[in-house]
Amino acid sequence: MKPLVWSLFACLAVMAAWGFKQTDHNRGFDNLLVVFKAGAAEFSAASAHLYTALQQLDSTDNTSLQTAKNELIRCRLAYKRIEWFMDYFFFTSAQAYNRPAKAEVEEPFMEYQDARGLQQIAVLLFDDHPFRQKNELLLQGELIRSSAADLPSLLYQFSAKDEEILEGIRLEFVRLYTGGITGYDAQELKTGISETQAAMKSIHATLAPWLGEYPEVEQLLAKCINYLGRSQDFEHFDRLEFLSSYALPLQAAYGKMIKSLDLSIHTRSAINYDAPHLFSRNFFNSGAFANTTIKDSAILNLGKQLFYDPKLSGNMQRSCATCHQPEKWFTDGLATSASLDRQKPILRNAPSLYYSAYQHAQFWDGRAGKLVQQIATVIKNPQEMNADPAVVLDRLQKEEKYVQAFRKAYADSAAPLSLATIYDALATYVGSLAPMQSAMDDYFNGDHTAMNAAQKRGFNLFMGKGLCATCHFAPLFNGLTPPLFELTEYESLGMTATSNLKQPVLDKDEGRYGYFPMHFYKGAFKTPTVRNTAMTAPYMHNGAFTDLNQVMEFYNAGGGQGVGLTAPYQTLSAKPLELTNEEMQDIIAFLGALTDKAKY
């Protein structure tokens, strides 16, 4: 569909919205249908054109490949106009169109999902031998074409409240800021900026029934759309300026609009809707994580005391702080931690505890879902604390100071001093280690002098050309996946055993596969936060890289496959990032801007 036709439909949407609104809490529904029907028709037509272009792929005609890529771009732009609607109201159906181009296991249900959809088509078209992929391309193209043609059937007996419409768009802003402008789902095409603009144009049309009453939202939306249209060069787009000057203010104004309308609902995301924007220090709803419910100071102080107490170990010579030292940002500075008997090192690197509560899995392989489970596991582990929990409890019960402290902290409990309360107090303390007091946090919360020029350039590279933010998602820069932040992601990097990339050897640690023996998990590990990473060397699950220069060289080369290793389950793209030395140094500078000022 041509832009002029789309604009006509947008105008019709405005007229329909104002002409057929029903009640104050259902004024957006008719308009929503008009906008979606226009977008669905455009997507259906674009998917048909894409399928035709795939049919015409011919190895003797190189122009046929470029035509297919152009039609894919057109199809993706059309889909972006309805993506928020599909993901919010018809999430299962939406999976046919834009899933990640890799085989995945959807947790916690352990449901296998094949790579399919627009992202998979992009990977196949950008393959070293794309014409050999024609049969698979046709299969993918037909799946999209046929299901897109049937989109109107989704509207049978469909209804939506204004609250739902507004929440869906609220989540879309998060998706665009964390995934759209980072190229999360368009890494080969590098069309993330134009796709974000297309999505925002659709949002503008959908919000027509309200924008007349909220000119600030309308003006900021228009400014975002305009800024996205100025330069759609993916590698040079100024994401820092876009977010700080336009996108985050829009998000804040939009939240105020919903509150003013008294149309706020909260379904299942981990977001705190009272937070102004993505980089607000209170952006996450602590209650959405099993680890982070804020308790009173008595429990927090008790947990801190236990954290440093060697009575929790079998030989009473080791505490939690032995491997998680505050002065080292809660790491131990070792490649892999020393075992209790000092004979054989622990298999993996001790990660920082900062922000560990804001995830849905603990340990590198995610084998514990909650901090209390992790704590219980560590205390019993022969190489770590090697303690009998019953003995630990007995020790604490014999100390009057602990008896009194637990009675005060857990006054409402039938058993104030128990293993459950010991684990809970420790988890409360660890859960408090999320200060969000870095230079970057200061910058996005009003102090535009907080980051220097190199750090600003590094932010744009991290969120853009470097593709770092496609795995380390803002604002925590870990594997907590937006926009719902319901899942913690695992990636296989084809990790090397050492820092020698000229003669690389594949690391033997099979990662999550040891916990869930599914071959897709071989070599997969939880994506950690890179907040405070400048202070927490060495790096990776095996501590193989001693500095961030080595880390950047590994990623820039394309991970294990990029340096010549056979890593069949690698999820990281094997294509070199082609970052210059100066660009890599700028990214490292930005990582320094993620260092928290606060220590605990």
Domain ranges for the chain, please list them. 3-267, 297-431, 439-592
The whole-number pLDDT of residue 11 equals: 45
Average pLDDT over residues 527-553: 97
Strands (E), 85-219: 104-106, 111-113
The whole-number pLDDT of residue 318 equals: 95
Does the pLDDT of residue 5 top 70, yes or no?
A: no
* Percentage of residues in the chain having pLDDT higher than 70: 92
The whole-number pLDDT of residue 541 equals: 97
Does the pLDDT of residue 529 top 80, yes or no?
A: yes
The whole-number pLDDT of residue 18 equals: 37
The whole-number pLDDT of residue 107 equals: 57
Average pLDDT over residues 280-288: 91
- Cis ω on the peptide bond leading into residue 416 (within 30° of 0)? no
Pairing of strands 490-492, 524-526: antiparallel
> What phi, psi does 193 have (nearest 5°)?
-75, -50
Which of the four pLDDT bands, split at 50, 70 and 90, describes residue 138? Answer: very high
Average pLDDT over residues 425-449: 96
The whole-number pLDDT of residue 7 equals: 46
Sequence-separated (6 or more) residues with CB below 8 Å from residue 171 = 84, 87, 88, 269, 271, 483, 484
Give start and end residues of each alpha helix (H) in 453-580: 453-462, 548-557, 559-562
The whole-number pLDDT of residue 552 equals: 98
User: Distance (Å, rounded) from C-alpha 113 to C-alpha 106?
Assistant: 7
Does the pLDDT of residue 15 top 60, yes or no?
A: no
Does the pLDDT of residue 406 top 60, yes or no?
A: yes
Show the CA angle centred on residue 252, arms to residues 249 and 257, nearest 5°. 125
Pairing of strands 111-113, 104-106: antiparallel
Residue 365's alpha-carbon distances to 209, 313, 511, in angstroms, are 48, 23, 5
Least confident of 7-11, 35-39, 293-297, 420-424: 7-11
The whole-number pLDDT of residue 9 equals: 45
Which of the four pLDDT bands, split at 50, 70 and 90, describes residue 8? Answer: very low
Query: Residue 464 half-sphere exposure, CB side, CA atoms within 13 Å?
Result: 23
Residue type (1 letter), 317:
Q
CATH topology identical between 297-431 and 439-592: yes
DSSP secondary structure letters along 117-138: BHHHHHHHHTSSSGGGGHHHHH
The whole-number pLDDT of residue 296 equals: 87
Sequence-separated (6 or more) residues with CB below 8 Å from residue 411 = none
The whole-number pLDDT of residue 559 equals: 98
Tens digit of pLDDT for each residue in 163-177?
999 999 999 999 999
Tens digit of pLDDT for each residue in 363-403?
999 999 899 999 999 999 999 999 999 999 999 999 999 99
Tens digit of pLDDT for each residue in 71-129?
999 999 999 999 999 999 999 889 889 887 665 555 554 554 566 799 999 999 999 99
Task: Work out the burial of residue 91: count CB atoms within 10 Å of its CB; fewer than 13 is exposed, 13-18 middle, 19 or more buried.
Answer: exposed
**Domain 439-592, CATH homologous superfamily name and number:** Cytochrome c-like domain (1.10.760.10)
CA-only gyration radius of the chain, Å = 26
One of 3.40.710.10, 2.60.40.3140, 1.20.1420.20, 2.40.50.100 is the CATH number of 3-267, namely 1.20.1420.20
Residue type (1 letter), 164:
E
Tens digit of pLDDT for each residue in 29-71?
999 999 999 999 999 999 999 999 999 999 999 899 999 999 9
Least confident of 58-72, 95-109, 215-229, 483-497: 95-109
Burial 380-391 (b: 16+ CB within 10 A, else e): eeebbbbbeeee
User: Distance (Å, rounded) from C-alpha 431 to C-alpha 440?
Assistant: 21
The whole-number pLDDT of residue 23 equals: 44
Residue type (1 letter), 58:
D
Q: Give the mean pLDDT of the chain.
A: 92
The CATH fold assigned to 297-431 is: Cytochrome Bc1 Complex; Chain D, domain 2 (1.10.760)
Which of the four pLDDT bands, split at 50, 70 and 90, describes residue 22? Answer: very low
The whole-number pLDDT of residue 1 equals: 43
CB 169, CB 206: distance < 8 Å: yes
Which of the four pLDDT bands, split at 50, 70 and 90, describes residue 599? Answer: low
Average pLDDT over residues 538-561: 98
CB 511, CB 523: distance < 8 Å: yes
- Please indicate whether residue 518 or residue 539 has the higher confidence score (pLDDT): 539
Sequence-separated (6 or more) residues with CB below 8 Å from residue 86 = 93, 94, 97
The whole-number pLDDT of residue 10 equals: 45
How long a stretch of residues is the chain?
Answer: 600
